């Protein structure tokens, strides 16, 4: 594994090449990345900046969170607009991190995809692997963007639903862009991953770098979001099997041990447990992350309704506090704040692989297999005696699918996963009648409730980008 260091030309780019161009590519670096050798392109993949998603909008958008005064007033105006599912999040003169960070990553990936094979050094296999990692990284990034700006995938309408501009070159002189369809974006994601898979490392050799198991898990997740569960399950199973040969530790933490008096997550104090940093988190297969400052700023909590989904013996409750940091009266209506993690891993994570396998098996009527996959996760989150799926749930498909979605909440509440689930479930025949709301609790005991309208299952294109691209279609 190449250590994290930069060639001088690349370092110069990273330090001074972050100006803006007045077009859609205003979010991309101005100037050129000077890379001439295979190692230069590998160094671009090793850039720690690629791991940062750039925004945590999905934290504010999930319907499992709530907030209360006086802490709510400490949120930024864009955060408050996201929490209230406002139509317009940004002003015409404001950049939006939901696009700027991902587009900078896409610029880097395109640079590698289009140029690394022409470098004079490195073996053909080495160059193909670097290109494959960039293809899969671009796929992950577009999957993030389409879940912000495109409607949830429906086969009947995806070809006409506006998606996101597809950019496959690292050309900063381009200045006119239009939105591809949702289908086009999903086709790009699938094509990139399928092209990448044969050339990726069969072993996870570093959490920041894409591997075959990580790409298989990602493609499986994409298929789940497209309701193509038959195709998703073999990929997810293969990803899980491929992790057995990982060169870095990949395993589920057993909270029965890690939260024991001598466990690695202890001690629990006002700051919460000693949760592992993302680069050393053994549940991370492919690392992408964002900051979750709400854990110490008290600005966002997990709702009482969601907290009620946990069994009293569920050790994930040790990741919560019912009081503000560092001290104060309990939050209203049973809400609690997460105490960890403050940096959220949001790439490919092992717990989600188990949950996606369980979902696919349940949808294929393998209810026993789904319950077994759930138990493999739950045995690491609570005493084994309490980990089995309730018998009355495990024998009925719809109830089991609902239980799996609740398990996703128990595992990922307050971590940004719920927004993506909310979107896809609105077009799922089993769950399509769901509604979402946010409650703001005031200090006098009154509340303001915000209802999510179907239009705001997608974010509007930021005004600054629309101004630079007059012909670009906005979301309603």
Determine the longest span between alpha carbons in the chain, in angstroms: 69
Number of Cβ atoms within 10 Å of the Cβ of 471: 9
pLDDT of residue 54: 67
Residue closest to 29 by CA, chosen among 110, 107, 114:
107
Query: Taking the mean position of all CA atoms in its chain, how far away is CA 164?
Result: 17
264-273 long-range Cβ contacts below 8 angstroms, 24+ apart: 265/318, 268/318, 268/339, 270/325, 270/326, 270/327, 271/296, 271/325, 271/339, 272/319, 272/321, 272/338, 272/339, 272/340, 273/318, 273/319, 273/339, 273/340
Give me 377's structure tokens: 């996760």
pLDDT of residue 5: 29
Reported pTM: 0.93
Cα torsion angle, 236, 238, 241, 243, sign: negative
Spell out the per-residue pLDDT of the chain, length 476, in tens.
333 322 323 322 332 233 333 445 444 444 455 788 899 999 999 988 899 986 679 999 999 999 999 999 999 999 999 999 999 999 999 999 999 999 999 999 999 999 999 999 999 999 999 999 999 999 999 999 999 999 999 999 999 999 999 999 987 767 678 999 999 999 999 999 999 999 999 999 999 999 999 999 999 999 999 999 999 999 999 999 999 999 999 999 999 999 999 999 998 888 999 999 999 999 999 999 999 999 999 999 999 999 999 999 999 999 999 999 999 999 999 999 999 999 999 999 999 999 999 999 999 999 999 999 999 999 999 999 999 999 999 999 999 999 999 999 999 999 999 999 999 999 999 997 889 999 999 999 999 999 999 999 999 999 999 999 988 999 99
pLDDT of residue 433: 83
pLDDT of residue 188: 98
pLDDT of residue 48: 85
**Rg of the chain taking only CA atoms, in angstroms:** 22
Number of Cβ atoms within 10 Å of the Cβ of 165: 21
pLDDT of residue 336: 98
CB contact at 8 A, 393 and 399: yes
Can you list the domains of the chain with their CATH numbers? 56-95+257-459 (1.25.40.900)
pLDDT of residue 121: 93
pLDDT of residue 172: 72
Q: Is 20 exposed, middle or buried (0-12, 13-18, 19+ CB in 10 A)?
A: middle
Residue closest to 200 by CA, chosen among 115, 121, 128:
128
- How far is Cα 352 from Cα 221, in angstroms, rounded to an integer? 9
pLDDT, tens digit, 9 for 90 and up, residues 261-286? 999 999 888 899 999 999 999 999 99
- How far is Cα 386 from Cα 389, in angstroms, rounded to an integer? 8
Cis peptide before 124 (omega within 30 of 0): no
């Amino acid at each position: 594994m190449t250590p994290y260091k930069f060639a001088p030309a690349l370092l110069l780019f990273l330090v001074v090449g972050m100006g803006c161009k007045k077009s859609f590519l205003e979010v991309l670096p101005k100037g050129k990345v000077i890379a001439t050798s295979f190692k230069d392109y590998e160094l671009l993949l090793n850039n720690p900046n690629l791991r940062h998603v750039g925004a945590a909008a999905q934290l504010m958008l999930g319907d499992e969170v709530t907030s209360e005064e006086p802490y709510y007033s400490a949120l930024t105006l864009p955060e408050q607009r996201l929490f209230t599912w406002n139509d317009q999040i940004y002003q015409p003169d404001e950049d939006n991190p939901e696009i700027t960070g991902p587009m900078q990553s896409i610029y880097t990936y395109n640079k590698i995809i289009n140029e690394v094979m022409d470098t004079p050094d490195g073996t053909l296999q080495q160059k193909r692997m670097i290109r494959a990692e960039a293809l899969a990284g671009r796929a992950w990034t577009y999957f993030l963007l389409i879940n912000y700006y495109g409607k949830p995938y429906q086969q009947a309408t995806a070809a006409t639903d506006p998606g996101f501009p597809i950019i496959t070159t690292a050309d900063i002189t381009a200045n006119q862009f239009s939105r591809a369809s949702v289908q086009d974006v999903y086709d790009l994601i699938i094509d990139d991953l399928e092209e990448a898979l044969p050339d990726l490392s069969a072993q996870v050799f570093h959490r920041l770098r894409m591997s075959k198991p990580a790409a298989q898990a990602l493609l499986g997740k994409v298929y789940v979001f497209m309701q193509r569960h038959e195709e998703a399950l073999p990929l997810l199973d293969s990803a899980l099997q491929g992790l057995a040969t990982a060169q870095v530790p990949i395993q589920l933490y057993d909270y029965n041990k890690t939260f024991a008096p001598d466990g690695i997550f202890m001690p629990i104090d006002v700051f919460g447990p000693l949760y592992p940093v993302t680069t050393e988190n053994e549940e991370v297969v492919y690392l992408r992350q964002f900051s979750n400052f709400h854990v110490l700023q008290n600005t966002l909590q997990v709702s009482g309704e969601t907290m009620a989904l946990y069994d009293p013996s569920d050790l994930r409750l040790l990741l919560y506090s019912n009081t503000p940091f560092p001290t104060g009266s309990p939050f209203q209506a049973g809400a609690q704040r997460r105490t960890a993690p403050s940096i959220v891993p949001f790439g490919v994570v092992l717990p989600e692989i188990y949950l996606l396998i369980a979902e696919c098996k349940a949808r294929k009527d393998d209810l026993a297999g789904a319950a077994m996959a759930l138990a493999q996760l739950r045995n690491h989150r609570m005493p084994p005696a309490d980990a089995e799926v309730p018998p009355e749930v495990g024998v009925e498909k719809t109830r089991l699918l609902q239980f799996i979605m609740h398990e996703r909440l128990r595992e990922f509440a307050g971590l940004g996963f719920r927004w993506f689930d909310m979107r896809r479930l609105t077009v799922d025949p089993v769950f399509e009648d769901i509604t979402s709301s946010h409650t703001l609790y005031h200090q006098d005991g009154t509340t303001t409730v915000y209802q999510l309208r179907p239009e705001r299952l997608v974010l509007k294109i930021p005004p600054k980008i629309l101004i630079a691209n007059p012909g670009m279609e906005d979301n309603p």
